[in-house]
Chains A and B, each alone.
Chain A
């Protein structure tokens, strides 16, 4: 039961992150105490595309898992999404975990020219494709099944997760919020007669070296959520002590893998986190 694994996010959605910094971040994470390097996904923002970022990370790492947590599935055609996922999995020699969700932003859908109203059904279809139809599609390289996570907070999202995925990707918040989502994920898992338990992934934000800059980034990144941006900014972990409490809290709620994302693209924050959880 005990033993949540801690992963670190790449700063791919922190504006201004250079290729060199992103690669160095991945390289250093591979030597650190981290189980996973993960990325977020936004289209209409100053950010680096998640599959491209993980491909770069794959080239300079040999140990850590690489994960999208999550990528916005419906923005991509299922076959293209599958191709990208197979590529990262092949480049990393099977270290890839594909987390998918519907995302929360309208402008991403508008920019991609995708109808947002059917996003849930489209995600289900993508998952069904990845789990089944893909193997007879001629889309290669042929790989063993990639680990799949699904995010979301509606009943339909939990059912979709239990129907197709290996685990659940929570969207962030205090440990209690994670615990309540985890109970729903397990309930959905039982409801669909899946054996065992879903893998449970959580996430949080770090702002260790420069809390004000980190919070300012979060207010900007989440401006579209209105008042919640303030709450997300207030939840950023600003000390080693806060990180340790957070990790313990998630562990107590049964989290398997906890990803902590940077809010400032400064390698010192990676080192501070490594020290806090190492």
Chain B
């Protein structure tokens, strides 16, 4: 086979090595436009898992690489003048030029032809001697990629960042958070040999402009950073290597191989995909690509097309997972300024769990001390103190009580719907009823319960089981008069519906009447009367349903509120008047909660920023707890049901609106609950464990 590799970065060189090793008869040429010792960036990071793959793929280069590694096991978080160290992590890093030198020598010794300082145009490639395969290993801005249609997208992701070196030798992966008048700057730094560390400075574009960095020369901006982090650098200097402020390009391709004017082209490394630098996986993914591609030729001997398909199918799902985690991590650093109010230990845990790859349970394995202290701090904080004693041990966060309004919930997990008494028996601190209507015409289905006298004995039994009882009170609005089977399937003979605007909710649903002021007065009075009955019944928590497209929600969303009167101009007006009226009669020492839409997940609908603003406003009107919901303002909303899909929204609302939150989203394990609580993403979690045969086999 004759192969031309364009780009002598780690992935291109490593592929050349592996192909030549597999069959010395292959003719492999690597073309690189730069000189052999020119490079950008400083050190690159590897995980243990990658090292295993490198060892199996090519032992001689593995030995050389690991011989010159910097290795460490800690992550330092410098925040509010303190250093929090988390241990038990494993990292290794190497100077990028040194890695390239090892790979170049290894490639040459195997008989790979390396040509540096040659810029080859696609036209030259296509007229050159016929090769079987051209490998585009020419980076995120690949020119070769432009010769074909790979379904490429490249969009800026995350913050502005600049990549320095420093002669400060760190002994941990180090995050530094430095608030300034212009805004927050953060550093990602790690050692890569005995003399040098990588030192990446990052900030939002807004802060970057406010600080005047958009106007500064390369030298001035380095001086700015050196001064800002003078204390952390402790007399050491920053070093530039074409260190200019950059946007990180998120590169994706729907196809990783195809025929173009230059022949069969396959994308490798950054040319195929990028993953935000804050999870340190770019070089790792690139070298794993090389291993997978080389292996696919072994698995599919003599069939180039099959081998390329094999490579793409193996790598795409892996890369997608990393891009998802990298996207979460990039987004975290884009909004980290909003977490500066968190206590240091919680800030640290929130940082460590930002991309979903570390949880409370697996951090317990890596760093049991940190988690013990975290749990003890959480319990102390829940008890209203921030001091813990040396050696203190506490139950995990889901068992910490929560003070809310004038009440104390015995723990942090909540069950909703179904039989409240059975739910209380599972140990939950709070049990919530399903949808209870304020009036007959506010029901969903004909069997939808009303707030009548029948609830008091039930509440008593929930209390007897040790839980608090909450009632979810709502008016179905345009989602009313539906059948028991399925959802939003209208009855043959329904009842008149009300909504903000006369728009049916789903196919064949009745057109609701646009509410008049008189309707609003009547419905508000119904909410008040129902709240009074709920108080008499003994409920501890009243949860007003302002979400999921029901009546009050229909006013909040522009998808369902098309009014031209004052309620169109001020969509919160009627729902807030209901909140005010209910708060006025609901006992001050009991909890008033609201189910609230964080985003409509639909074009033209409420965004997360709108959701945060609504949370802020309802909190100002006396709501003690926001139950975070999303979607369903319209039946055409597009929810994303990935694991913990509501938790990130709860995080935004809790952090940015400063209001306690309850979140669900099919949290099925105590670990998910503990992680969300300990990271400060929610105050209460709906816990929904699936049934297991183990319970029946006791």
Contact = CB atoms under 8 A, between A and B. Distances in A.
B309 A187 contact: no
Nearest to A131: B489
A191 interface: yes
Contact of B631 (A129, A159, A184, A231): A159
Contact of B691 (A1, A124, A195, A226): A1
A132 interface: yes
A158 B631 CA distance: 13
A81 B116 CA distance: 65
A157 to B, nearest CB: 10
Given A158-B639, A195-B417, A231-B313, A1 B489 contact: no
Interface stretch (B243-251, B480-488, B533-541): B480-488
Given A158-B641, A159-B639, A191-B641, A132 B490 contact: yes
Given A135-B492, A164-B487, A128 B641 contact: no
B666 A190 contact: yes
Given A132-B490, A163-B488, A155 B508 contact: no
Given A163-B487, A164-B489, A187 B645 contact: yes
Interface in B476-516: 483, 485-490, 492, 506-508
B642 interface: yes
B630 to A, nearest CB: 9
B211 to A, nearest CB: 39
A124 B507 contact: yes
Given A159-B639, A195-B417, A145 B485 contact: yes
Interface residues of A, number: 40
A263 to B, nearest CB: 19
Interface in B619-677: 631-632, 635-643, 645, 664-666, 668
Contact of A230 (B313, B601, B690): B313
Interface in A154-169: 154-156, 158-159, 162-165
B216 interface: no
Contacts of B643: 183
B666 A183 contact: yes
Interface in A114-133: 121, 124-125, 128-129, 131-133
Given A158-B639, A186-B666, A187-B645, A129 B508 contact: yes
Interface string A184-199: 1011101111110100
Given A155-B641, A190-B688, A129 B507 contact: yes
Contact of A184 (B487, B637, B641): B641
A121 B510 CA distance: 18
Contacts of B255: 226-227
Given A1-B691, A128-B488, A195-B417, A163 B506 contact: yes
B309 A188 contact: no
A111 interface: no
B486 A164 contact: yes
B313 A188 contact: no
A192 B487 contact: yes
A133 B631 CA distance: 25
B638 A124 contact: no
A168 to B, nearest CB: 11
Given A1-B692, A187-B645, A195-B418, A131 B483 contact: yes
Given A193-B417, A231-B313, A162 B487 contact: yes
A163 B635 contact: yes
Nearest to B256: A227
Nearest to A184: B641
Nearest to A148: B486
Interface string A47-62: 0000000000000000
Interface in A189-242: 190-195, 197, 226-228, 230-231
Contacts of A188: 639, 641
A145 B483 CA distance: 13
Interface in B294-319: 306, 309-310, 312-313
Nearest to A192: B487
A248 to B, nearest CB: 15
Nearest to B483: A132
A128 B417 contact: no
Contacts of B637: 156, 159
B49 to A, nearest CB: 18
Contacts of B631: 159, 191
Interface string A242-272: 0000000000001000000000000000000
Nearest to B688: A190
B258 to A, nearest CB: 10
Contact of A121 (B508, B636, B641, B642): B636
Interface string B69-113: 000000000000000000000000000000000000000000000
B693 interface: yes
A142 interface: no
Contacts of B434: 193
Contacts of A197: 690
Contacts of B666: 183, 186-187, 190-191
B693 A2 contact: yes
A254 B309 CA distance: 31
A227 B312 contact: yes
Nearest to B313: A231
Nearest to A196: B418
A129 B637 CA distance: 20
A155 to B, nearest CB: 4
A136 interface: yes
B164 interface: no
A184 B688 contact: no
A223 to B, nearest CB: 13
Contacts of B639: 155-156, 158-159, 188, 191
A195 B435 CA distance: 12
Interface in A97-147: 121, 124-125, 128-129, 131-133, 135-136, 145
Interface in B279-333: 306, 309-310, 312-313
Contacts of A231: 309, 313
A128 B483 CA distance: 11
Interface in B37-81: none
Contacts of B645: 187
A187 B486 contact: no
A125 B507 contact: yes
Contact of A132 (B309, B508, B632): B508
Nearest to B310: A230
B638 A133 contact: no
B184 to A, nearest CB: 33
Given A129-B507, A131-B485, A193 B435 contact: yes
Contacts of A163: 486-488, 506, 635
Q: Which of A162, A184, A226 has the most CB of B within 10 A?
A: A184
Contacts of B483: 131-132
Contacts of A135: 492
Contacts of B668: 183
Contacts of A194: 487
A162 B631 CA distance: 14
29 contacts: A2-B693, A121-B636, A124-B635, A125-B508, A128-B488, A129-B508, A131-B485, A132-B490, A132-B492, A132-B508, A135-B492, A145-B485, A156-B636, A156-B637, A159-B631, A159-B637, A159-B639, A162-B487, A163-B486, A164-B486, A187-B666, A190-B688, A191-B639, A191-B641, A191-B665, A193-B435, A195-B417, A195-B418, A197-B690
Given A164-B487, A191-B666, 17 more contacts: A2-B693, A124-B507, A125-B507, A128-B508, A131-B483, A131-B485, A131-B486, A163-B506, A183-B666, A186-B690, A187-B641, A190-B664, A192-B487, A193-B417, A226-B255, A230-B306, A230-B310
- Counting from the closest, the 10 A-B pairs by CB-CB distance are A187-B666, A128-B507, A184-B641, A132-B489, A125-B507, A187-B641, A131-B489, A1-B693, A227-B309, A155-B639
Interface of B: 255, 306, 309-310, 312-313, 417-418, 434-435, 483, 485-490, 492, 506-508, 601, 631-632, 635-643, 645, 664-666, 668, 688, 690-693
